[in-house]
Structure 1
Amino acid sequence: MVRLEGALLCLMVMIMDLIAGILGIEAEIAQNKMKYVRVLIFECKEPSHQAFGLGLAAAGLLALAHVIASLLGGCVCICSQEELQRSSPNKKLSAGSMILSWIILAVGFMMLVIGAMSNSKSKRPCGISHHNFLSIGGVLCFFHGLICVAYYVSANAAKEEESMGRPSGTQMTGMPHHATHP
């Protein structure tokens, strides 16, 4: 039953990130349909209310998917070099994918918000070009979904290893961990 729930949660996070990515790309398409004049890196363009709404919706879904994956995966901490060396591969993968998911969240969320906010004005703003922010943020949503699933699966595998009584990083041998040598 636990595996079914885990599979459904992973599927839900992937679907949310997939929808967020599609919304980000659709926002970019809506933004590119508007008229604009470009000189070097500066441009004046008509804002797109549709791009604004789609970009903010994508950012919201990305953040929600991250919160769900982080809460359900738990916190896997490796605080020292010694602990890193003793950690199991599942715990190392979990910690690495957690850090990577936070980095992708930060960059993708900022790209989507910057792209959406460039379309929030009611008049024609002029400034530095913000092309491709929405589509790059949308593509990062896809990667975020994959990394969050890897995090959830590896975090649960590390928890399962620890609950079986094996400290992380120890190997299964014929001798119990607490045995002393004569």
Structure 2
Amino acid sequence: MVEEAVIVRIPGGKAGQVIEQPINSFDMMETIADMANVNVSHIRFAKSFLAQLHGSPGDSNRTVYSEGGFLYHREIEPFDPFQADTYKDPHNLYYPRGKEEVEEGIPRAVMAKNMNYKLVFRADGVSEFYDLKEDPRELTNMYDNVKYKEVRDKMLMDLLDWFVKTGDVTPLAEDPRGAPKPPH
């Protein structure tokens, strides 16, 4: 079951190539930089999938991570002045989602996903765990199932490792423009 699809046509790319491994959205920028032979000198955590576009197999053991939701009252996008009209108009496609966010809130969550499993951890709310081979449509939450405890706990530790390695990374060099000037 394909959750998302990105269609790419590049010179020398393999026609009909499908990348089965999960990828992060920021992998797109890494891939574009790789295609353009741009040397990016800052610390980054994305992986180029250019080799896969040319037909090489991907990393079948790769795990991707994401986060979203909100922890605090009114920490939600419907209050962004640029989006306010979207969430006020019942005829707008995104109105039901905005109404849900305004009235119920969306609990903060982090996600780890590989070819076999998907973990959604919520500090507040119901966490989720899916065996994607057995349940590709993610219909049965196996978070509390003892059968999956070992793999779930490993994914939780890997998620913690990811946050420690990627959180609050300092720059490799100072900005040559200097520190920002305070507002007047």
Confirm or deny a common fold (TM above 0.5): no
Superposition TM-score, scaled by structure 1 size:
0.25
Higher relative contact order (CA 8 A, sep 6+): 1
More helix by share: 1
Superposition TM-score, scaled by structure 2 size:
0.25
Larger radius of gyration: 1
